[in-house]
Structure 1
């Protein structure tokens, strides 16, 4: 897959950051000082004064505290995993050979990923003795890439900081599942796996008509 899986650090940029304001203006955000030279770090330069706080100061302080408490947030990263290895077995089956490797890269249980794959592809499948997923039907590698990319967005990526260092946790009291970020501490609920589009063959349509007729 493309640069959405795995972790690869980028070099820090020396360029200043900009923050879009509601009125369309931009406020320059520096690591240590604001536009007028005032301190915008995690310190409180306005202690002992009665002046109003500058927007740059407050924003800079927030970023300073975040960097101090979570140093990893200042380092941009990409998630990279190997592409799916897809093989054909006979004329009616497809083998997903490196399922376990991809599950380990995403830190997700193979049972959950398999359930999502089967639901989205609208088919059935089982693990063989080599821990490969054997599916009924013929599927191209790009189909697996698309499904895995959607899984990554739905069940792995943090919506706040875009980190992939997350855990999937299910609360027994509410029976809801949450994606909790280990980098920034954010948490969001995730939906249960629902069946996607499934193509119905002629034989299945005939059986359905006979059952209702």
Structure 2
């Protein structure tokens, strides 16, 4: 019985040591809010007025987000300052739906469902690396 108690105490000490080594982000409880793109249609172009804010909220390169949007919408466009200009008329519902798809595919961790991720490149493959749980998962190329 004494041996079992000593083993249990050793197990508890190892468990406490493991908890101390976990990143602090894992225990934060702030909620990730999906950013909304505010768009305006001018002539035959759609302008996303807060595109820079959206990409910075997602912690992603604006060119990466734009490349995804352009591919999904089947159009061309570019970034000018804080806004993105797309050729064609797109409602804000369509744009925000594509932003949500981008978040699901390229921002949210596939293991722990947290937004604390970065895109890294390993052996010509883009990987989604989670800062909270340490998981890595391959991404589809754009």
Q: Same fold (TM over 0.5)?
A: yes
Matched with 1:178 is 127
Equivalent residues in 2 for 1:151-170, closer than 5 Å: 151-170=102-121
Matched with 1:133 is 84
Can you give the 5+ residue segments of structure 1 that lack an aligned partner in the other structure?
1-38, 48-56, 194-213
C-alpha spacing 1:155/1:66, structure 2 compared with 1 (3 Å): farther
Matched with 2:66 is 114
Deviations 1:51-103 (A, max 9, x none): xxxxxx99xx87x666432243233342114421101112x111011111111
SS of residue paired to 1:126: strand
Partner Cα distance (1:82, 1:159) in 2: 19
Matched with 2:26 is 73
Pick the structure with more helix per residue. 2
Equivalent residues in 2 for 1:10-21, closer than 5 Å: none
Alignment of 1:102 with 2:58, yes or no, is: no
- RMSD, aligned CA: 2.5
Matched with 2:8 is 45
Can you give the 5+ residue segments of structure 2 that lack an aligned partner in the other structure?
none
Deviations 1:6-38 (A, max 9, x none): xxxxxxxxxxxxxxxxxxxxxxxxxxxxxxxxx
SS of residue paired to 1:143: helix
Name segments (4+ residues, structure 1) moved above 4 Å. none
Query: Normalising to structure 2: TM-score of the pair?
Result: 0.82
Verify the 8 A CA contact 1:73 1:161 in the aligned structure 2.
Answer: no
Q: Which of 90, 101, 108 is matched with 1:150 structurally?
A: 101
Query: Normalising to structure 1: TM-score of the pair?
Result: 0.57
- Counting matched residue pairs gives 136
